[in-house]
Structure 1
Amino acid sequence: MENRKCRSRFLIMLLTFVLMDVSFKGFKAIAKADLQVAAMFVFGDSLTDNGNNNYLNSLAKANYNPYGVDFGGFASGRFSNGKTIIDYLGDLLGLALLPAYASPDATGRNIMQGVNYASASAGILEETGRNLGERISFRQQVENFASNLNRLKNAMEGEELSQYLRKSLAVVIMGSNDYINNYLLTSFYATSQIYTPTAYTNLLIQRYMQQISALYSLGLRKFFIAGIGPLGCIPNQLATNFAPPGTCASLANDLAVMFNTQLRSLIIQLNTNNTDAIFVYGNTYDAVSDILKNSNSYGFTVNDRGCCGIGRNQGQITCLPLSVPCINRDQHVFWDAFHPSQAANQILAEKAYSGPPSISYPINVKQMAEL
């Protein structure tokens, strides 16, 4: 009798494990089917950094409260009250949150859906951001990606890895610091004395092309490359330049427009010269400008100062440890002196994912993922 009970319990347990295994495999199949890209690899600065600078000797860190107040109260290193544009774009593509390259979690299967290589204060130029300490330049981010490829090669056959990279998405959001923490920071850099605005932009685009070409040579074939937003409208530049209410700092905006014009031309050139790849230009400038111009229709009531910051426009000094942020965070376009709020990041991600050609050219991220 006792033996029959034991056998019955054993059969029930066995059946349970079988059903659990079937269910788990089914879940994995569904999860895999929901993925629109094989992986996403991110290169950028503090707009996209999700914790890499936590491991550097840098003043550009966001691993303290109140950063992350809407990210489960966890200051992960994201320069936001909550999610970044990359987090939201990953959600739309069916991806899990990406590990930061420098994080101990960036190992094994955790890197299969992608890695975030972005570093706060980093720029296209090597010297950009040195006023804030250590950072991972664009060139070094590309080299870090190349070193990670060796780990992926150990897990995949050659052709499998090639197909994986072709179906992956590279997101590059870079260039803002080359102005804010270089060209416009005349007290620390002599760049503006050496280069005219046109010559400086030419230099940036030339270096940009070199690194994008390096990523292409490593096997990536789908690129979303975002332009610079209206720098003169962020709280820091409004405060620094004593911009009258309702206006932005014109020089910073003019430099951003000059850079974006050449970047868009570069992307057209890349598409012409590399017919086996697709390069998409993200028109960040117009996307952000539209939010600022039509704030109320997007649900924002404050578009000229940070939610967390000190001084004019809450932008002279950025969000400090244990600062008390505003309560109506979702009504602020800007979280701190330099960065969009979580609410603005969500809108920008949606525009990149499914926006019209005027915002995402020549196609959007959703269309690119379907190729």
Structure 2
Amino acid sequence: MVREGLVLGHRISSAGIKVDRAKTETTSNLHPPTSVRSISSFLGHAGFYLWFIKGFSKIARSITKLLQKDAPLVFSEQFIEAFDLLKDKIVNAPIMIAPDWSLPFELMHDASDYTVGAVLGQRKEKHFHPIYYAIRTLNNALENYTTIEKELLAVIHELEELRDHAYAHSYNYKLKTKELHDRKLIVLMETFVVIGKPQVPCYFIFGDSLFDSGNNNQLLTTLKSNYPPYGTDFPQGVTGRFTNGRTIADIIGQLLGFDEYIPTYATVTDQHINQGVNYASGGSGIREETGSHLGGRISLDRQLLNHHSIVSRLFHLQRNITFTREYLSKCIYLVNMGSNDYINNYLKPKLYTTSHMYTTHQYAKILIRQYSHQLKSLYDLGGRKIVVFGLGLIGCAPEEISTFGTDGKPCVQSINDAIRLFNRKLKPIVDRLNVYHPDAKFTFINLTGMALQQGMVLTNVPSCILRSDGQCAQTTLISPFRTMSMYYDGYHPTEISNIHIAKVSYKAISPMDASPYDISHLARL
């Protein structure tokens, strides 16, 4: 098993966090300058980091004096020492910090005659701390750009390096030049820096606690997360999300360009339903009885009834049936359901009869049949761009491992085998729905494959103190290393895990991640 991985230019392992040397390889491999031009280029490069290098001017004095008028071009020992020292200070770890996912990110840019540079960082106690550097050497054509054009080029270069991350996080932009006089450059800035309007007109979310953002708050149920430490890293604090920060659905919404989180069905008003609704409910399932021992929850059938109500309200508000149908056909619909049909049904034989009545093959077949009808109902309600998530590896959840044991294996193999069986039956259903309904686009997200990718880097140690049911106990004590763990409580992923799943769902790394489309492709269809 791989025991370390990369996050934003940092190598994370059980030994801790350190800067990835590959990210500073360009600087490390620089040879000493041999001409006035190459000296100027290096100083333009190194000068970008003068904020972060103590005594920069003093160190660079032996180099800068060679640029003085009529100065002899002598590459002395002091020159070489100054060059090597600046190089060392640029690439060494004390300059950089690990990202704090609870804070906004800031991009700072600068330009010299021969290079443009950008640094991604965060402010802590009013001080800017760098996380990631990006440098680009200019060719002859780019050297003729004006200063502001070069700085905008630095913005574009950095955003291309961090494109997916930029969509998923809050950024501030700092340009050295204070005014943009040219209207064309303002348009350029808007094109590359501002995310712009959403890629789809609306976004509807169906699911369980992985997507729930507060629908369970007013229900009579034990499955709630409207207390700390849930929401520790979420901008609005405690909301009813079953994680420390944003959910997968939240992050996908941001990647789609929505600047506000999609409201819950419990709180949405007519003013906001045109942008979408989150119907997800913790503890809910494909089957109506699933999770009943927990108390109130909103099953998928009832979430679809709630959506029917919302669609009716949209028809009434927009007063044009043709327009509303066309409008709904352009929206993205996220569906994530089935985990609780195992966790809070089939795997609790003392409370439910399903494991006594069906083998794992029979149960998967029954679930898939009902799920297929429910997805068809969503189509009948106007959904045409429907994203169906497969199930994750429930057998690797800390609470399931604690309950069932693993016989020396990393996870509960029998549970994961049942989940893989469900997923193998689900994907052909998605393909069949595409065949039977050619005016619609259904797609399958391989959550199991993504979980395996994360398992190579993140631990499965919970980030909070657990209650007996696997949820976080109400306390402010949480792990400071939650960015290195896949799980926040006994079942639910951390925000860092959600970020990975959301980003790969939106922009697939391989054809195995999403089939036949990833969400970014689906939004453009």
Q: Give the TM-score band, short-chain normalised.
A: 0.7 to 0.9
State which of 326, 331, 342 in structure 1 corresponds to 2:495.
342
For the residue of structure 2 that corresponds to 1:223, the secondary structure is strand
Q: How far is the alpha carbon of 1:245 from its aligned partner?
A: 6.3
Report how far residue 244 of structure 1 moved.
5.6
Offset of 1:114 from its aligned partner? 0.6
Q: Distance in 2 between matches of 1:32 and 1:290?
A: 28
Instruction: Quote the residue 2:450 is aligned against.
Output: 287
Q: Aligned-pair distance for 1:246? A: 5.7
| 1:309 aligned partner | 465
SS of match in other structure, 1:182? helix
The reply to whether residue 276 of structure 1 matches residue 439 of structure 2 is yes
Structure 2 distance, partners of 1:304, 1:216, is 37
Conservation of the 8 A alpha-carbon contact between 1:309 and 1:316: no
Indicate if the aligned counterparts of 1:64 and 1:321 stay in contact, CA closer than 8 A: yes
Shift of 1:243: 2.4
Aligned residue identity for 1:41? F
Match of 2:514 among 335, 357, 360: 360
* 235-244 vs 64-73, greater mean Cα deviation: 235-244
Once residues 195 and 384 of structure 2 are traced to their aligned partners in structure 1, the CA distance between those partners, rounded to angstroms, is 21
Distance 2:314 2:408 in 1: 52
The TM-score normalised by the length of structure 2 is: 0.61
Give the alignment of 1:1-371 within 5 angstroms: 34-72=197-235, 74-95=237-258, 96-103=260-267, 106-156=268-318, 157-243=320-406, 247-292=410-455, 294-295=456-457, 300=458, 303-310=459-466, 317-322=470-475, 324-355=477-508, 356-371=510-525
Task: State which drifts further: 171-180 or 202-211.
Answer: 202-211
C-alpha distance in structure 2 between counterparts of 1:201 and 1:84, whole Å: 26
Query: How far has the Cα of 1:278 moved from its partner?
Result: 0.5
Secondary structure at 2:461 match in 1: strand
Provide Cα deviations, 1:313-371, integer angstroms capped at 9, x if missing partner. Answer: xx863201125111122111111100000010011000100003200101100000000
Runs of 4+ deviating beyond 4 Å: 30-33
CA distance in 2, matches of 1:73, 1:110: 19
> What displacement does 1:159 show?
1.5
| 3-state SS in 2 of match to 1:154 | helix
Which amino acid is the alignment partner of residue 304 of structure 1?
N
Q: Greater relative contact order (Cα 8 A, min sep 6): structure 1 or 2?
A: 1
Q: Deviations over 1:19-64 (max 9, x none)?
A: xxxxxxxx9xx99952111111111000000000001000000000
What is the CA-CA distance between 1:78 and the residue it aligns to? 0.2
Conserved 8 A contact 1:201-1:259 = yes
Larger radius of gyration: 2
Distance apart, 1:109 and its partner CA: 2.1
Q: Which runs of 5+ in 2 are unaligned?
A: 1-189
Q: CA deviation at 1:304?
A: 2.3
Asked if the contact 1:309–1:337 (Cα under 8 Å) also holds between the matched residues in 2, the reply is no
Runs of 5+ in structure 1 lacking a partner? Answer: 1-26
**Structure with a larger share of its residues in helix:** 1
Query: Structure 2 CA distance, aligned partners of 1:74 and 1:185?
Result: 33
What TM-score, normalized to structure 1? 0.86
Structure 1 CA distance for aligned equivalents of residues 335 and 521 of structure 2: 18
Residue 290 of structure 1: how far off its partner (Å): 1.3
Q: Number of residues paired by the alignment?
A: 331
Distance in 2 of aligned mates of 1:323 and 1:32: 35
Alpha-carbon distance in structure 2 between the residues aligned to 1:278 and 1:132: 35
Root-mean-square deviation over aligned CA pairs: 1.8
1:194 CA displacement: 0.6
SS of 2:263's equivalent? coil
Deviation at 1:117, TM superposition (A): 0.2
Instruction: Tell me the alpha carbon deviations over residues 59-95 of structure 1, each in whole angstroms, 9 at most, x when there is no partner.
Output: 0000001100001361100000000000100000011
User: How much identity, in percent, do the aligned residues show?
Assistant: 37
